[in-house]
Amino acid sequence: MICMKKNRMVVMFMYVIDINADIGESFGTFKVGDDKRLIPYITSANIACGYHAGDHVVMDETIKLAKSYGVGIGAHPGYRDIYGFGRKKMDIPAEEIYQMIVYQIGAIQAMCHINDVKLIHVKPHGALYNEASVNREVARAIARAINDIDNNLILFALAGSELAYAGQELGLQVAQEAFADRMYTDKGTLVSRNEAHAVLHDEKKVEEQVLHIIEKQEVITETGNVLPMKAETLCFHGDNKNAIQLIKHIQSCLVAADISIKNVGG
Amino acid sequence: MICMKKNRMVVMFMYVIDINADIGESFGTFKVGDDKRLIPYITSANIACGYHAGDHVVMDETIKLAKSYGVGIGAHPGYRDIYGFGRKKMDIPAEEIYQMIVYQIGAIQAMCHINDVKLIHVKPHGALYNEASVNREVARAIARAINDIDNNLILFALAGSELAYAGQELGLQVAQEAFADRMYTDKGTLVSRNEAHAVLHDEKKVEEQVLHIIEKQEVITETGNVLPMKAETLCFHGDNKNAIQLIKHIQSCLVAADISIKNVGG
Amino acid sequence: MICMKKNRMVVMFMYVIDINADIGESFGTFKVGDDKRLIPYITSANIACGYHAGDHVVMDETIKLAKSYGVGIGAHPGYRDIYGFGRKKMDIPAEEIYQMIVYQIGAIQAMCHINDVKLIHVKPHGALYNEASVNREVARAIARAINDIDNNLILFALAGSELAYAGQELGLQVAQEAFADRMYTDKGTLVSRNEAHAVLHDEKKVEEQVLHIIEKQEVITETGNVLPMKAETLCFHGDNKNAIQLIKHIQSCLVAADISIKNVGG
Amino acid sequence: MICMKKNRMVVMFMYVIDINADIGESFGTFKVGDDKRLIPYITSANIACGYHAGDHVVMDETIKLAKSYGVGIGAHPGYRDIYGFGRKKMDIPAEEIYQMIVYQIGAIQAMCHINDVKLIHVKPHGALYNEASVNREVARAIARAINDIDNNLILFALAGSELAYAGQELGLQVAQEAFADRMYTDKGTLVSRNEAHAVLHDEKKVEEQVLHIIEKQEVITETGNVLPMKAETLCFHGDNKNAIQLIKHIQSCLVAADISIKNVGG
């Protein structure tokens, strides 16, 4: 927070950040995550659209839940792969990725419509997100699908990724995304989960990384280098035991640092 | 056709009928039907939405095909059952049926949107269609879903069925549907396919039934009774060998009888 | 326990009961139940075979787990319905049910074979179990499949059900099954879960029912009537919060009552 | 054919070849191929096991069909991918591939058992076959699964491939496989279907390649080089229009050339 006093007028520049998490990832009788406990702590909800998780029932219930908390609703489209939860890379032509995204966004748009709420953003899921971060063709197919459906939709993309560029190229509003508890490589990509240091388990370290990203627009990489990183939204994972605890802690840190937490489309 | 001459003015009342068929029922590499041969002969296309058949690729291609022929595009939502092709009755609560329909219509609406074409009608598929014809709760769930998404959508429903009533109840435009080559019971339902006389195989018989329905607004049932039947759209099945031959023949009969064939939403 | 002293010889008749539970019901990344905590307390494991839950990975891991605890391994085949977890009744011809069972038992047999352990029993899952309890044709199809694959397999069936009779008819060893915490109707079927009193929530009540069934070969029904019930195996549900607590409690009651807990095929 | 006359005794060395094709690849109501027309012309049937195609009904019917023609029955396991028909490469750990193969072979073994017929061979399908041809880990996982289930099963593998070596390594009987109508690279792999010259469309060319492989144990590659190739089984594709015509023609050529067509396990 920067305050400038000039006579009696006080101008305040406040840092603002959005907090997003994946929810609505149950499928039929298979339950995933604890959305009801998580929802009060986020400002953007990435809701699975039936391809990697979620179904018509779960989607409807999750939209109602998000709406009741005033949380921004986003589509979270993935590869068509319930069994693998959309985490397996699939070799799919760009044109089919475009169609896949259109289908899923359409489904959730209608679900939003019957609940009288607006779809705000789109964030690809899992292996598709990773692929779109580095593969220009895939990135462009996704951005084009979003643009063709509704160019007011905000694209959530890894800060500095191919997906972010693809969105900007088409004039979409892009919310650059940073990960609160993931270690970064010098290239600005996430350290693979196969590596031991991929995830920051220490609450203090997560807090430092988050504040560093928001206040300095930089992140410290795995090698100790400093990388510029401008992020409008922070991703948290809701599906592990300590998720709620961590997200609550970071929220209180953000509040203490006078950083405003609000939806990116708000 | 009825002509009334009054001085020099000629008033013509012409019978008009829509012809619909299910298309886009392939799935991945599994090919169903011969849509390209069928499409020139229909005015309304019921396009599968990914639950019982169809997928994002097939839907997009089928919409492009229908559009190129100026054929009215409709959603053809079914039970979530690729394996059984949506032909097995499923015991699903009305609320879930509502959600199921919303999901599928949303998906195809977006597919239409990117193809710059309008979704005109909705016709439930297979076991869901049958259930909706006789089950008021299911019928109402479907009608309500359509109404909530877009009350300009036209509901295709078995003439005189619960689904037709449910649509009218909500003020939807309902296109009452008759089956060209299916025998009717005295209740106005279709004779079950388990019975030998369920399907009219004789081209001449189909022709008679079609003309009877259109011109007299009646149908002769399996017992020889006469049943009133007002139909705006005729259903043909595209997935059997002689389908194209039959539909071509009936078209020429309709033309010969001065019956206009045009899309119900046109 | 009954002891008869005759001179110096003591003859002991001891009640013996098997305890079974459904395990291996995860699917891909979707986790169900806590098999590792449950396994020490059961003597028969009903392992899902990939149709309603389970997959090749889960099956292999679950068989290894059961083997390591010396727990009898059983096939738990269900309807082909991951989304509905095999809990939706499906209208499937008897011949197809036969084929469905053969497929699933074959898959788990091979999984047992590579783990050098024997498949001991078969217990149908969910809606298929319920249907087989009352539908003679379905019951016979299941019994016939088991008999044709390996007539040494033990059929687990609701005590007194059509499935139990169908198994006996073919000369299969049938383990009549009772439910520890479910209320019975006067017909010997389970009170539907839709009714408030379907499940016994009071540990004491469960204990009474279990001891009553084992020691008196009777059960008290929902109306207070006494119904004969001879059970060789007791079913517990592992998928609710208090399952482990309940099963541990009942085990200690059985031990205290000198009732031997052992696998039905042992 | 080589004849050696020595006095009045005639010793005949006759070339022998097996002809295999994929059958049973329908799924639910989705029909693939024309198995009834194809079956008279093959000696080994590769039957889909429910993962990429086929289901319990189709498998049972296909086994009955193959048995009635005395055709050798083989498992045709693939990736778990109905939508993509097992043709998309999937990045699956070797251990899971092992489990996947065990599951599918087990299922078809039981189907063979109830039909009182023996499972003779195993041939991986589609993308899994391709991967196993070049990836040693995948090849070994498949060979190990077959060996652990039944080491009398014959492994069908691309001649000279990693899969063939992996099978031999474990002492399995390996039937080296050649493709009648596919062009080969200088490495002995198949020219990718993305290339125009991947498939030999000229009946005469197919005839020449087949006879060359059988009689000279060589194949002419796309560059005109000669590659040694010892094949015990020839693969034909049954799913295109001219398949039956081609296979009939080649059969008559083989007969004319005194080449015996018989099952590899016979």
Distance, CA of D76 to CA of C38 (rounded, Å): 37
Those chains having 3 or more beta-carbon pairs within 8 angstroms of chain A are B, C, D
Q: What is the pLDDT of residue A242?
A: 82
Chain A residues touching D80 at Cβ < 8 A: 83
Positions of chain C with pLDDT lower than 70, given as ranges? 1-13, 239-240
HEC profile of B131-155: HHHHCHHHHHHHHHHHHHHCCCCEE
Q: What is the pLDDT of residue A6?
A: 55
Chain A residues touching B96 at Cβ < 8 A: 56-57
Distance, CA of C161 to CA of C187 (rounded, Å): 10
Q: What is the pLDDT of residue B3?
A: 46
Distance, CA of B164 to CA of B189 (rounded, Å): 13
Strands (E), D14-89: 16-23, 44-48, 72-76
B193 to chain C nearest CA, in Å? 16
Q: Does A241 touch chain C (CB under 8 A)?
A: no
With a cut of 80, say whether residue A11 has pLDDT above it. no
Inter-chain touch A55–C83, beta carbons under 8 Å: yes
Chain D residues touching A83 at Cβ < 8 A: 80
Q: What is the pLDDT of residue A8?
A: 60
A159-188 tens-digit pLDDT: 999 999 999 999 999 999 999 999 999 999
Inter-chain touch D106–C102, beta carbons under 8 Å: no
Q: What is the pLDDT of residue D87?
A: 93
Q: What is the pLDDT of residue D5?
A: 55
D-contacting residues in B 33-62 (Cβ below 8 Å): 55
Chain B residues touching A148 at Cβ < 8 A: 113-114
D64 to chain B nearest CA, in Å? 22
Nearest CA in chain B to D53: B30
Instruction: List per-block mean pLDDT (blocks of 10 residues) for chain D, which spans 266 residues.
Output: 52 83 96 94 97 98 98 98 94 97 98 98 97 97 98 97 98 97 93 89 94 95 95 86 88 94 89
Q: Does D27 touch chain B (CB under 8 A)?
A: yes
Please list, in sequence order, all residues whose beta carbon lies within 8 angstroms of the beta carbon of residue C166, skipping any fewer than 6 positions away. Answer: C132, C136, C139, C140, C142, C143, C144, C157
With a cut of 50, say whether residue A2 has pLDDT above it. no
| Torsions phi, psi for A23 (to 5 deg) | -135, 175
With a cut of 90, say whether residue A64 has pLDDT above it. yes
Q: What is the pLDDT of residue D227?
A: 95
Q: Does B24 touch chain A (CB under 8 A)?
A: no
Residue B130 CA to its chain's centroid (Å): 12
Q: What is the pLDDT of residue D266?
A: 72
Q: What is the pLDDT of residue B70?
A: 97
How many cross-chain Cβ pairs, A to C, lie less than 8 Å apart?
26
D100, D109, D148 member nearest C106 (Cβ): D109
More confident residue, B2 or A242: A242
Chain D residues touching A80 at Cβ < 8 A: 83
Neighbours of A165 (CB within 10 A): 16
C139-196 tens-digit pLDDT: 999 999 999 999 999 999 999 999 999 999 999 999 999 999 999 999 998 998 888 9
Nearest CA in chain D to B25: D30
Query: Dihedral angle at the C-alpha atoms of A54, A60, A65, A71, nearest 10 degrees?
Result: 80
Determine which helix (DSSP H) or strand (DSSP E) holds B1, and give its type and residue range. Answer: none
Nearest CA in chain B to D56: B83
Q: What is the pLDDT of residue D6?
A: 55
Distance, CA of A110 to CA of A93 (rounded, Å): 26
Nearest CA in chain A to C58: A83
Q: What is the pLDDT of residue C265?
A: 84
A44-62 tens-digit pLDDT: 999 999 999 999 999 999 9
Residue from D22, D26, D27, D30 to probe the interface with B (highest B Cβ count within 10 Å): D30
Inter-chain touch A106–B100, beta carbons under 8 Å: no
pLDDT class of B49 with cuts at 50, 70, 90? very high
Nearest alpha-carbon partner for C34 in C255, C242, C263, C260: C242
Inter-chain touch D80–A80, beta carbons under 8 Å: no
Chain D residues touching C59 at Cβ < 8 A: 99, 103
Distance, CA of D174 to CA of D172 (rounded, Å): 6
Q: Does A30 touch chain C (CB under 8 A)?
A: yes
Decide if the complex's ipTM is over 0.90.
yes
Inter-chain touch D102–C56, beta carbons under 8 Å: yes
A118 to chain B nearest CA, in Å? 14
Q: What is the pLDDT of residue B2?
A: 42
Q: What is the pLDDT of residue C6?
A: 55
Q: What is the pLDDT of residue C2?
A: 42
Is the distance from CB of C186 to CB of C160 less than 8 angstroms? Answer: no
C-contacting residues in B 219-238 (Cβ below 8 Å): none
B80, B83, B91 member nearest C89 (Cβ): B91
Q: Does C116 touch chain B (CB under 8 A)?
A: no
Those chains having 3 or more beta-carbon pairs within 8 angstroms of chain D are A, B, C
Inter-chain touch B84–D28, beta carbons under 8 Å: yes
The whole-number average pLDDT for the span A25-50 is: 96
Residue A228 CA to its chain's centroid (Å): 19
A119-157 tens-digit pLDDT: 999 999 999 999 999 999 999 999 999 999 999 999 999
Q: Does D109 touch chain C (CB under 8 A)?
A: yes
Inter-chain touch D88–A89, beta carbons under 8 Å: no
Those chains having 3 or more beta-carbon pairs within 8 angstroms of chain C are A, B, D
Q: Where are the alpha helices (DSSP H) in A115-258?
A: 126-134, 136-149, 162-169, 203-211, 243-256
Q: Where are the alpha helices (DSSP H) in A13-93?
A: 35-38, 56-68
Q: What is the pLDDT of residue B1?
A: 41
Chain D residues touching C47 at Cβ < 8 A: none
Residues in a beta bridge with B17: B261
Per the listing, tokens 């990914």 go with B50
Distance, CA of A130 to CA of A179 (rounded, Å): 13
Q: What is the pLDDT of residue C239?
A: 67
- The whole model's pTM is what? 0.94
B203-236 tens-digit pLDDT: 999 999 999 999 999 999 999 999 999 999 999 9
Q: What is the pLDDT of residue A194?
A: 83
Inter-chain touch D32–B30, beta carbons under 8 Å: yes
Q: Does D83 touch chain A (CB under 8 A)?
A: yes
Those chains having 3 or more beta-carbon pairs within 8 angstroms of chain B are A, C, D
The whole-number average pLDDT for the span B22-50 is: 96
Side chain identity at residue C113, one-letter code: H
Q: Does C87 touch chain A (CB under 8 A)?
A: yes
